[in-house]
Amino acid sequence: MTLKPNPTFIALTGPTTSGKTELSLALARILEVEIISMDSRQVYKGMDIGTDKASAGVRAMLPHHGLDLVSPSERYSAGRFARNARAWIKQISNRKRVPVLVGGTGFFLRAITEPIFAEPPMDSSRVEALRRYMTKLDSKAIAKWVKELDPERAALAIEGGPQRINRTIEVALLTGHPISRRHRESPPHAVALTGLVALLDLPREEMDRRIDERVTHMVDEGLVQEVRSLLGAGYALDAPGMTATGYREVARYLEGDQTLEEAMEEIRVNTRRYARRQLTWFRNQLPSSVRIIDATASIELQAGAVLEAWLEVSERTTPEIFSDEAGL
């Protein structure tokens, strides 16, 4: 993934609690921007507190895309994001604004900075039957399947989590050809996009401290009631959206299996683990051209560093992208 002279977007990424949302709002005070969520959990309706979505007030002042797209029972793949994000980026650019992608889902970022391929046709009833069968298998058996069916893609699939694992198995079994072969032999459906990728760098000690604070804040804001409402609406704990950190832990509290404090501590531990997986992904997968932003610096300095990098690599330095009254 090589940064080219005329990027089409800014991407603000980094581990959870690194301050990506705050930085995007600071950019909106100096550039005409629209936000595209790059968070795989914020696509789900009714999951606001646990996924730390931008507030209704912020969204009223600054256009956001990629929020509240599907119900928690639906799957939303990186491929689907790739198609949606390309459309949003084009629309935003046509409005003479800068698309700013914000989030820590690395596979969503890669989905637009690499070519995408058309989904192979598969019988939906067979897909559902296969998915029901796979729910009966443990993680070791699933991993063995992936490695045998698509060894080239196995590491990527396992790193990507349940949805990517399932898709790898489904395509290989139901079409007779692994995804890796299809990508190698078929022309891409859409070309890769180029953008300025800015990584917010946060010391682990500070990240852990912020995670502790966020968990307390989410519970104070009503996370327990949010989970109770989702369960009351009939969403099962194995639904795609409900696998997000925070929801299963609180559900166990509501079922009487643990205290609220125990649930909160479990969320903290699981969030720290997730943040460390994010750091590993960023270290191994981001391009060498990524701009490192000190997330402990003042928000003004962070925004200034991103703006300077954007102007350096972008040919779009005409006044039309600057905001005289975009203040938030």
pLDDT digits (tens, 9 = 90+) for 94-112: 999 999 999 999 989 988 9
Mean pLDDT (the chain) is 88
b/e map 172-193, b = 16+ CB within 10 Å:
bebeeebbbbbeeeeeeeeebb
Task: Tell me how many domains the chain contains.
Answer: 2
> Last residue of some domain: 167, 185, 203?
185
For residue 186, pLDDT beyond 70: no
User: What amino acid occupies position 153?
Assistant: R
Residue 291 vs residues 38, 110, 279: alpha-carbon distances, Å: 18, 16, 15
Q: Tell whether 171 is covered by a domain.
A: yes
More confident residue, 163 or 147: 147
Percent of the chain with pLDDT over 70: 88
Q: Tell whether 1 is covered by a domain.
A: no
More confident residue, 120 or 78: 78
Task: Kindly report whether the global pTM for this prediction surpasses the value 0.85.
Answer: no
Q: Is the domain of 266 the same as that of 229?
A: yes
More confident residue, 163 or 96: 96
Mean pLDDT for the stretch of residues 81-88: 94
Q: Look up the CATH number of the domain holding residue 87.
A: 3.40.50.300
Q: Is the domain of 132 the same as that of 55?
A: no
List beta partners, residue 125.
Answer: none
For residue 243, pLDDT beyond 90: yes
Q: Is the domain of 89 the same as that of 140?
A: no
Q: Tell whether 129 is covered by a domain.
A: yes
**CB contact set of 284 (below 8 Å; sequence gap of 6+):** none
Residue 303 vs residues 72, 152, 295: alpha-carbon distances, Å: 34, 40, 10
Q: Tell whether 328 is covered by a domain.
A: no
Q: Is the domain of 51 the same as that of 103?
A: yes
Whether 23 and 328 have beta carbons less than 8 Å apart is answered as: no
Q: Is the domain of 239 the same as that of 160?
A: no
Give dist(CA 179, CA 161) in Å, integer: 16
pLDDT of 321 reads: 42
Q: Tell whether 276 is covered by a domain.
A: yes
Q: Is the domain of 201 the same as that of 228?
A: yes
> Last residue of some domain: 185, 203, 230?
185
Q: Is the domain of 257 the same as that of 287?
A: yes
Q: Tell whether 244 is covered by a domain.
A: yes
Q: Is the domain of 208 the same as that of 93?
A: yes
Read off the pLDDT band of 249 (50, 70, 90).
very high
For residue 318, pLDDT beyond 70: no
> Last residue of some domain: 138, 154, 185?
185
Which of 86-90, 157-161, 321-325 shows the lowest mean pLDDT across its residues?
321-325
Read off the pLDDT band of 303 (50, 70, 90).
very high
Range of the domain at 137: 124-185
Structure tokens, 300? 């003004």
